Structure 1
Amino acid sequence: MDPALAGADPYAGEGWREILGQGRWAPFLLICFGIWLHAADGLIVVTTIPAIVADIGGIAWTGWAFALYQVASIVAASLGGLMALRFGIGRATAAASALFTLGCVLDAMAPDMGFFLIGRLVQGLGGGVMVALFHVAVTRVFPERHWTRIFAWVSAVWGVSALFGPLVGGLFAEAGLWRDAYWAFGAQALVVALCSPFLFGNVASSAQGLELRAPWCALLMLVPGVLGIAAASVVDSVALAALSVAIGLGFLALFFYFDRREHSPLLPERSLSAAPVRFGLLMVLCFSVATISFSVYGPLLLVQLHHITLLEAGYMIAIESVAWSVTAMMVGWVRPKGEPLCIKLGASMIALGLLGFALSVPQGPVWAIAVSAGLQGGGFGVSWAFIARRVASGAIEAERERAAGALPTTQMLSYAIGAALAAIIANGLGLELVTPEARLRSIGFWIFCAFLPLTLPGFRAAWRLAR
């Protein structure tokens, strides 16, 4: 529909038929399918790992089965925007999906834990690039007036994936077929690899084909930076964990320093001076760091403090994902004039959810914990699409791919930082396999309350972004 025929409102009369018209429905489905693949597979190890260690051993390395995937995803996602610029979205996505497939095959064939961890590393590399490229693809396949709705559905798919990934893994593991779970995900990734050149082949990027050099100096700083932070969440010593985080943050500072001086930087350096890009990424950073504690330690605290089953604890974690998905779909049709309210409302809901966890996890009641989970997940769902749209549209044209790819990278890196800091707090307060109830209640309070100060810069960024 021609906006001129719709009066002053360019959105009037638009429905999914128009949004997905002109052949855009197939790329849309591929984007959603790829997001499902990365998000679900990132968590499938949570429920397959007991069966894996029973089969191939390596229980001491179970933490790294999750951490290596996240580390590789963060590092690889930072390259997504650059790959889209250099090779085009179609070829870059096909290569990333093929790499993901290879990682799945390595996991499915793993004779021991070392081999399995290599597979997880390869999976993370492919998955990280994929998720960044799919965010870039939204900005290239769809007109800007549709970005909010598409990002809302991408956000909803992410939430659903986080919910069903562990469930799928659990079903395979209970059937004694944990290897088949990785074969299944490998087959799905192969579909993405085969379809991407056809569905994204005609999607041009702002600098496709230019001789863009990989920023090796920046990457050499980024890898130990992310590894150092991730290692802090899987070591028992508080001193070593704190040292690991400090070293990791030091390398990240060097990464930002060198990236600014690269010929082809990973970050949208020139666009960071634009308020939407700067404050959008800062909002994601603050609230993602602050809110990962419930996903990491929620099940343990719920089971031991409130004596619910693991299945019930899993449902409590799922509330956050469901709320994210439901609210993302609810606001998908909000017009631009409603964006500021959604961004501010999302920030408020996230902060209230975090406060609710600090008050309810130590003492209960369980229903209050469920409400807090709904607020936290719902806050992200209400605001995420609008953050993504403003970050992408706020960047200069030449850096739009980098800006779009920087959003999931920032989110994943923030989760890694938050998980590491939460581990330091929990271990510092004496978390053990069998912990006295009074100490558990203290941990249940501080593991959330300690992150409340981060909501202040998060609020400031949200209000500035909403202008």
Structure 2
Amino acid sequence: MTSDAGARTGSHNPRPPAAPGIFSAGYLWATIGSCALVFLSAFESLAVTTIMPLVSADLDGAALYALAFAGPLATGVIGMVVAGNWSDRIGPIAPLLTSVALFIVGLIIAGLAPDMTVFLLGRLVQGLGSGAMNVALYVVVARIYPAALHARIFAGFAAAWVVPSLVGPFAAGVVAELTSWHWVFLGVVVLVLIAMLMVVPALRMLRGGEQPDLAARPAWAIGKIGWAVLAAAAVLGLNLSARLDGALIGVVAVAAVVIALVAVRPLLPTGTLRAERGLPSVILLRGLISAAFFGTEVYIPYLLTDRYDYSAALSGLALTGAALTWAGASWIQGRLDSTLSSVNAMRIGTVLVLLAILSAVATAAFELSPLVVIGGWLLGGGGMGLMYPRLSVMTLSYSTDRDQGFNSSALSISDSLGGALALASTGIVFAALVGLGGAWPFAGCFLLAAAISAATLGLGSRVGTGVRAVAASDGPHGS
């Protein structure tokens, strides 16, 4: 009953009008445009993971398989830092438009690549744009939506994975088999352009809103951009170390990891690498769980095509199932935000991801039915769906107007750098074990990911409020 109706019936306690939702008139275009950008990112990610075995075979790039995934994540760190600082200075509109342009250029280079070197160049440019786009989009959300709607819009982002999850992997496999894998990249360009047409009204809405105080704008963080470049270079060096001989592999690999960790410290909130309570643990958990999950996922289609003779289209269905459970769990947690605590969501999610990775280990090590890993990966998607939106919401809840860009970029940097380091490490493991034959290289990669996943089990209880709950207000001092 509306308040007017209550007044007409003489009620003294009329029901208050419903609060506006993310699809109400004031937020409709912002929601459609933002979700459209998430949609294209999801489609590209799932499509590339599905067709990479074909790309690797066509361009003779098996030795650089992991780098094709880790490279974009590494350059994405640079894009995140630039976009975060840029957004804090003048708002997210210019960073978002620039990042989308870079994303398109990278897709075109990769789609037209005649060899693996050019393909990798396209992937690096693509990663630079994608990383910046994610951070700019987070700041758009922070500037447009009230805090009460953050859980809903991030759940909407997860739901935006549903359609590409249903058609993306399978469609990419079919296109690659019937025409060429080149068209998978070139086709995504069209999706990007359509998404930008949809997001323009949201940007106009933001431009007309309240702008940050000019005097309060931070200076360009040139030093932090330099640290981001160093971290990206270290990740690329870690990937390339697998091509060295003998003891040099271990020396270069250890040096690259140390340099990456030193370089990333100024890019994260204080105490992140020490897992201090509050925002630091939120950021660290995001990086570790991304490393474990995506370090496993990129090898699942490879395992299915190499060991079980699955077609590219059929192997992509494993990713489809996980993406659907991810979206479903995200939707559920968004409706349970007042009854399911963030700590419990993290605890359940980390356990589900670990079980999913162990199913991959068992499948590869004992040559079990591929249905074991496909079914197990459904659990992993559900676990990620419980955690990802909550981690995003908690990051913004720890942020102020002055550090939304920095904290959003820190979350994305942890996400990408964790995945990049994991992929680089699994690439080394895969190369070291390939001489054993069989599924041992896959089993080794999955075991490493399982060890990373196990390290996340104790972090869930540290994401809530505590002595470092106001870490965001301390400013970006490093870890």
Interval containing the TM-score (normalised by the shorter chain): 0.7 to 0.9
- With 26-35 and 450-459 compared, the bigger mean Cα shift is at 450-459
Matched letter for residue 74 of structure 2:
V
RMSD: 3.9
Partner of residue 19 from structure 1, selected from 18, 22, 40: 22
Residue number in structure 1 paired with 2:329: 327
Partner of residue 120 from structure 1, selected from 90, 98, 123: 123
Matched letter for residue 313 of structure 1:
S
Q: Is the 8 A contact 1:324 1:379 kept in 2?
A: yes
Distance 1:297 1:125 in 2: 23
Residue number in structure 2 paired with 1:282: 284
2:428 equivalent to 1:420: no
Q: List aligned pairs for 1:36-435, cutoff 5 A.
A: 36-46=39-49, 64-110=67-113, 113-158=116-161, 161=164, 164-176=167-179, 178-193=181-196, 195-196=199-200, 197-204=203-210, 206=212, 212-233=218-239, 235-237=242-244, 239-256=247-264, 259=266, 266-268=267-269, 275-302=277-304, 311-340=313-342, 341-363=344-366, 364-428=368-432, 430-432=433-435, 435=437
1:77–1:377: structure 2 CA closer, same or farther, 3 Å change rule? Answer: same
Q: Is the 8 A contact 1:51 1:178 kept in 2?
A: yes
Distance 1:198 1:404 in 2: 22
- With 236-245 and 368-377 compared, the bigger mean Cα shift is at 236-245
Distance 1:298 1:137 in 2: 34
Q: Deviation at 1:216?
A: 2.6
In structure 1, runs of 5+ residues without a counterpart are: 6-10, 260-265
Matched letter for residue 26 of structure 1:
W
Distance 2:145 2:276 in 1: 23
Matched letter for residue 99 of structure 2:
A
1:223–1:56: structure 2 CA closer, same or farther, 3 Å change rule? Answer: same
Q: Is the 8 A contact 1:94 1:192 kept in 2?
A: no
TM-score (normalizing by structure 2)? 0.78
1:274–1:87: structure 2 CA closer, same or farther, 3 Å change rule? Answer: farther
SS of equivalent residue, structure 1 residue 338: coil
Distance 1:165 1:242 in 2: 38
User: Cα deviation per residue 1:191-228 (whole Å; 9 max; x = unaligned)?
Assistant: 45564442432355655685543323332232232333
Distance 2:430 2:61 in 1: 24
In structure 2, runs of 5+ residues without a counterpart are: 7-14, 470-479
1:203–1:421: structure 2 CA closer, same or farther, 3 Å change rule? Answer: farther
Matched letter for residue 255 of structure 1:
A
Distance 2:295 2:272 in 1: 31
Residue number in structure 1 paired with 2:444: 443
Matched letter for residue 294 of structure 1:
T
SS of equivalent residue, structure 1 residue 226: helix
1:207–1:297: structure 2 CA closer, same or farther, 3 Å change rule? Answer: farther
Q: Deviation at 1:36?
A: 2.1
Q: Is the 8 A contact 2:86 2:220 kept in 1?
A: no
1:203–1:47: structure 2 CA closer, same or farther, 3 Å change rule? Answer: farther
Distance 1:441 1:254 in 2: 30
Distance 1:422 1:204 in 2: 46
Matched letter for residue 415 of structure 1:
G
1:418–1:177: structure 2 CA closer, same or farther, 3 Å change rule? Answer: closer
Distance 1:350 1:55 in 2: 32
Partner of residue 34 from structure 2, selected from 20, 31, 40: 31
Distance 1:250 1:443 in 2: 22
- With 163-172 and 367-376 compared, the bigger mean Cα shift is at 163-172
Q: Deviation at 1:120?
A: 2.8
Distance 2:214 2:104 in 1: 25
SS of equivalent residue, structure 1 residue 431: helix
Q: Deviation at 1:84?
A: 1.3
Of all paired residues, the percent bearing the same amino acid is 21
Distance 1:141 1:386 in 2: 19
TM-score (normalizing by structure 1)? 0.80
User: Cα deviation per residue 1:249-269 (whole Å; 9 max; x = unaligned)?
Assistant: 333344245x3xxxxxx5455
User: Cα deviation per residue 1:273-326 (whole Å; 9 max; x = unaligned)?
Assistant: 984311211221222222333213223444566665554433223322221112
SS of equivalent residue, structure 2 residue 456: helix
Q: Is the 8 A contact 2:77 2:131 kept in 1?
A: yes
- With 441-450 and 38-47 compared, the bigger mean Cα shift is at 441-450
Distance 2:356 2:57 in 1: 37
Q: Deviation at 1:377?
A: 1.3
Q: Is the 8 A contact 2:305 2:315 kept in 1?
A: yes
Q: Is the 8 A contact 2:165 2:321 kept in 1?
A: no
Residue number in structure 2 paired with 1:262: none
Distance 1:144 1:213 in 2: 27
Distance 1:314 1:441 in 2: 17
- Total equivalences in the alignment: 448
